Structure 1
Amino acid sequence: MSLYQNLLLLTAISAFLSIASACSDGQCKLLDECSSDGDCEAGLYCFACQQGFSGSRCVRSTVTNQFKLLVSDEIDKASFVCVAHSGTFHFQLSPLEQDIDNNSLPFNKYAFLTTHNAYAIDGYPLHTPVPRVTFTNQEDMITDQLNNGARALMLDTYDFDGDVWMCHSFGGQCHDITAFGPAIDYLKEIEAFLSANTEEIVTLILEDYVGPNGLTKVFTDAGLMKYWFPVSNMPKNGEDWPLVSDMVANNQRLLVFTSIQSKEASEGIAYQWNYM
């Protein structure tokens, strides 16, 4: 057999093995290549993200509940199940305990899923007379982001058209082509989520280009002030935050941070770099 024929044979075998080893029918694992949602195992779906990877791959479709990751000392340790695995012993929670939320730690002891430019949603309805010409970062509306597990939203707020708007813009100015919509529309979605989910806490991190008292007015108009976590209760010098359980009990379930330092004193909106 000639060298050329050998190369052809090796190429054919390699292609066959590649096809044979490709996963499908619900067998593809996290970050495996896929062609449809049906290829991915439970809890994953097939997704394309040019910024993150080539082609389509299986990614997570559900977020881990951070309050189920930790077990309180108050839980009876005798109810743990000890299982052997690869010669070592691990503690495994019983099904009953896996359903127990532990929100008894300080707020800063948990990690929360955050969406960048949460307002910059692909296909968001136009609110200006010209087409939008700017970047988008999200596919889901605010309500869907929250329902899917996001608990912190990064938002860009601007003075525009006599009101506070969400814009993905430049130079501190919002334009028709960079505007997404009035901030109150987004904030009302957040209010509806907090109203319906009485044990959830939402954090807003604002890139702020709004003049004095503009944010205070729009948060008031959206009905969010009743959830406001006051600056006076925020820790200084790296101290622990209040317990999540206490924040929930006091209904102080909305944390708002601004990029404008002076607003902490003038409007009671926390300056982000004093706490982050």
Structure 2
Amino acid sequence: MQSRRSKPLLLLLLISFLFGIAVPIAFASQLGATCVADRNCDAGLHCETCIADGNVRPRCTRIKPSDPKSTGTGLAFNRYAWLTTHNSFARLGVRSQTGSIILAPTNQQDSITDQLNNGVRGLMLDMYDFENDVWLCHSFGGKCYNITAFQPAINVLKEIQSFLEANPSEVVTIFIEDYVTSPMGLTKVFTASGLMKYWFPVSSMPKNGGDWPLLRDMISKNHRLLVFTSKSAKEASEGIAYEWRYVVENQYGNGGMQAGQCPNRAESAAMNTMSRSLVLMNYFPDAPDFATACKHNSAPLVDMLNTCHNASANRWPNFIAVDFYKFGINSFLGVDCREVMEVVPQKLQI
């Protein structure tokens, strides 16, 4: 099985193949067509352009990726790939719920609910102690301020709870950049949100690189929420999995966008460490840029998938994290981060 998964394939050719046959004819006739507004595009498409990539004519592009479960749920969880948003909560154009303007960088254009409805299944959330509660902040120095605080974490967690309740076959993964020091702070906010009934227990997570449970078994047991923290001590104290005990992750920011390189971030084991079953690939710059995200989330992303596959002992990423996930178009190949998510799941399942 390992040798078949490791077989070298031409990713771009496979994307082109999928681009040609993986959608109904009426849908395919509009994908990539020029447009003026969203109403010119078929259902499931929206109208966008990518001036940064030289594509000045707006075209109909996909709103959401193909469902990784479309080929079935009978494989181990680590044989699927999930679109993931970096700083999922840091929404463009909103005010802080403190009433202050936000001076922190923003990385996404949609609410958490919209992201989930559009096929995102991995969420990166930065959690801090703030105003006697746990807040989502895009901050610095381990402290949250009015100008870096977006909203109380419970608001977003309740959005996730509502989504999981309404979609009983979906699985969501949360990666917490954890600055919460209040006693049992995360446990309290997750309990208050109603998410504990979906919690995947740490005791069931594979150690030493073993396969995860079958996706269908996770769904049937209602273990549909995976939560990882950046604080190792919380695995013992709160039952929240320490991310890098189970996941290898490449360098975030500019350091993770160097062509031909896929170094691990400092906290992670080397990308080719087989004692971790899950692979997370970041692909976004240090400074989020709405205008250039469409270029980053296209052909360069595909190149980095190949690079990180080779660096990760011939394993494809299970989570692909990007900024401004809805943007990314290549008018020649039809490649963007949503279409990439059709290809990686199929390769993981070979």
SS in 2 for 1:206: strand
Report if the CA contact (8 A) 1:27-1:40 is conserved.
Answer: no
* C-alpha distance in structure 1 between counterparts of 2:165 and 2:224, whole Å: 10
Quote the residue 2:162 is aligned against.
Answer: 192
Q: Distance in 2 between matches of 1:54 and 1:173?
A: 41
CA contact (8 A) 1:28 1:34 kept: no
User: Aligned residue for 1:254?
Assistant: 225
What is the letter of the counterpart of residue 164 of structure 1?
Answer: V
Displacement of 1:190 in angstroms is: 0.6
Query: How many angstroms apart in 2 are the aligned matches of 1:51 and 1:152?
Result: 27
Aligned to 1:104: 74
In the alignment, which residue of structure 2 is the partner of 1:214?
Answer: 185
For 2:92, give the aligned amino acid: D
Aligned to 2:90: 120
1:141 equivalent in structure 2: 111
| Of 51-60 and 262-271, the range deviating more from structure 2 | 51-60
- What runs of 5+ residues in structure 1 fail to find an aligned partner? 1-25, 71-101
Q: Which ranges in structure 2 are unaligned for 5 or more consecutive residues?
A: 1-27, 248-350
Residue 64 of structure 1 corresponds to which residue in structure 2? 66
1:197-236, Cα deviation, whole Å (9 max, x unpaired): 1111110011111114110100001111111101000001
In 2 relative to 1, CA 130–275 (structure 1 residues): closer, same or farther, beyond 3 Å?
same
The one of the two structures with greater contact order (alpha-carbon pairs below 8 A, sep at least 6) is: 2
Q: Which residue of 1 aligns with 2:101?
A: 131
CA apart distance, 1:49: 5.7
Q: Which residue of 2 aligns with 1:244?
A: 215
Q: Which moved more, 1:182-191 or 1:133-142?
A: 133-142
Q: What is the deviation of 1:29? A: 4.5
Q: What is the letter of the counterpart of residue 88 of structure 2?
A: A
Q: 1:160 to 1:46 in 2, by over 3 A?
A: same
Question: Does the 8 A contact of 1:160 with 1:174 survive in 2?
Answer: yes
Which residue of the partner structure matches residue 89 of structure 1? none
Deviation at 1:179, TM superposition (A): 0.5
Deviation at 1:161, TM superposition (A): 0.9
Q: Distance in 2 between matches of 1:270 and 1:106?
A: 19
User: Relative to structure 1, is the Cα distance of residues 225 and 38 closer, same or farther in structure 2, using a 3 angstrom cutoff?
Assistant: closer
Deviation at 1:33, TM superposition (A): 6.5
Identify which of 134, 146, 152 aligns with 1:176.
146
CA displacement 1:97-123 (0-9 Å, x = unmatched): xxxxx1111111111111111111123
Check 1:60–1:128 CA distance in 2 against 1; reply closer, same or farther (3 A cut).
same
Q: Is the 8 A contact 1:199 1:248 kept in 2?
A: yes
Q: Per-residue deviation at 1:45?
A: 2.0
Give the fraction of aligned pairs with identical amino acids, expressed as a percent. 57
Aligned to 1:78: none
Change in Cα spacing, 1:225 to 1:43, as seen in structure 2 (3 Å) is closer
Q: Deviations over 1:223-266 (max 9, x none)?
A: 11111101000001111000111111111111000011111111
**Structure with max Cα Rg:** 1
Q: Structure 2 CA distance, aligned partners of 1:185 and 1:220?
A: 13
Q: Is the 8 A contact 2:95 2:102 kept in 1?
A: no
| Alignment RMSD | 2.2
1:157–1:183 CA contact under 8 A, matched in 2: yes
